[in-house]
Amino acid sequence: MLLVPYTMEVALRRFAAIAARPNALRPCATTATALTPSRRQYWTPSRPPPNYPGHIPLNTLEKAALAIGSGLISLANPRRADLIAAFAEATATPYFIYRLRDAMLASPTGRRILRDRPRITSTSLNLPHLRSLPARTVGRTYVAWLDREGVSPDTRSTVRYIDDPECAYVMQRYRECHDFYHALTGLPVVREGEVALKAFEFANTLLPMTGLSVFAAATLKPGERRRFRETYLPWALRNGLRASEVINVYWEEELERDVEDLRRELGVEPPPDMRAERKAEREARKRAREGI
């Protein structure tokens, strides 16, 4: 069963390596004397030049292959963040990323973000300063989540497969803001909470990758799956649909704001507190193991 994902992963790696070469799919430079006696030369379609640094142009067939391959492998191995990022880019066009870009253009704050094109990094945010902020601020809540999970904003993959430079930035912005969505929603750092955040993002952004990620609920333990189905999923869909477009939040300007005030402004209610139920479930499993 592992042979198909492995074979597909090897093919994807080879495809990405070829596509990244400067002369990939350029006309063949072989001399006529090295060809057949008819002296015919064979040509392959030229790849257009990149539209921005790091861009890898793909045709429709190549994008479809990338979407299918990366999607299947991501389902088999959800820890492959690079393939999840590739799937997100391959499935964001031709509609979804443009819809998100238009949502930003329709908002004064979104237009400022598109004009300024800020990047979210550990340097631009000054993480030591965020740790000194009061506990209920957006910045302190955000950096507390980073510290608890042991992650850094510098680890987000760079967009490569979206052709339009402005839309590529929109995808990059969404990707770098993901950890702020944890701070905004207050979802717990547990498996059903992470899947619930993807459901919230799907309802709010409509990006296909976030919808696919919701299927990870099938891998949850029975108790986690029940809490997700009965509590977190209805909350995520309700809040994601009614909330303002979170892509339009200029997070860099909200760091010292009370997170509850921002939630009220955007129309996001705190998720149900399931800590007591999870604790009771852990204690029940412990008693069962001890035979009490």
| Annotated binding residues for Zn(2+) | 178-179, 182, 194
Per the CB < 8 A criterion, the answer to whether 168 and 114 are in contact is no
Paired tokens of 212: 């696919």
Neighbours of 222 (CB within 10 A): 8
Exposed, middle or buried, 2 (CB in 10 Å: 0-12/13-18/19+)?
exposed
Per the CB < 8 A criterion, the answer to whether 86 and 92 are in contact is no
Per the CB < 8 A criterion, the answer to whether 118 and 124 are in contact is yes
**Phi, psi at 159, each rounded to 5°:** -70, 135
Cis-peptide, bond into residue 94, ω within 30° of zero: yes
| Among candidate residues 219, 222, 195, the one with its CA nearest the CA of residue 284 | 222
Per the CB < 8 A criterion, the answer to whether 170 and 113 are in contact is no
Q: Which residues are annotated as a binding site?
A: 178-179, 182, 194
Paired tokens of 280: 């009771």
Burial pattern 17-36, b for ≥16 Cβ within 10 A else e, equals: eebeeeeebeeeeeeeeeee
Residues 6+ apart with CB under 8 A from 23: none
